[in-house]
Amino acid sequence: MVTDNRNEKLGHAYDGVIAARRRLRAMHLILALLSSLSLSTGNPIPHLNAFSRGGGWVIVVLSVFGWGPYLLSWFFSRPLIDGSIRAVNAFSVGAIIITIASASLYQNIFAIQPTPSVPLVSTGVTICLLGLAKASAMIWPSPLN
């Protein structure tokens, strides 16, 4: 039985697109969770009485600084690098490095004085992730575009 080489190439390309989409989504979800968890320092928040001021809601709202950059990155990077496995792999490695650096800054592992503010680190993470997505898309363009 003779198989059509063109159909095999199309099937392989389709599998690559689906794998890249899943990997991009999973990477953003996992790194967003890790970043949100790294915001918790274990120190009490000044001027917060959890029982009288809704401490649970405050923690949920503050966690936006952890997962927010990854949500914005997912919306921005999805159309840019969605179909390119190489771009998604490069973006994933870069995003892991950015997440490790941001978690280190959130936890103040580098002992920087004064401690960088959470909104500043979150903004920096967002800018780095968006720049990384754009650079990955320029180096390895998606076959879908």
65 — pLDDT class (breaks 50, 70, 90) = confident
The string of pLDDT tens digits covering residues 4-58 is 555 556 555 556 667 778 888 889 899 998 888 887 765 555 554 555 555 667 6
What is the arithmetic mean of pLDDT over 71-77? 93
Distance separating the N- and C-terminal Cα atoms of the chain: 35
Cα–Cα distance for residue pair 6/109, rounded to 1 Å: 53
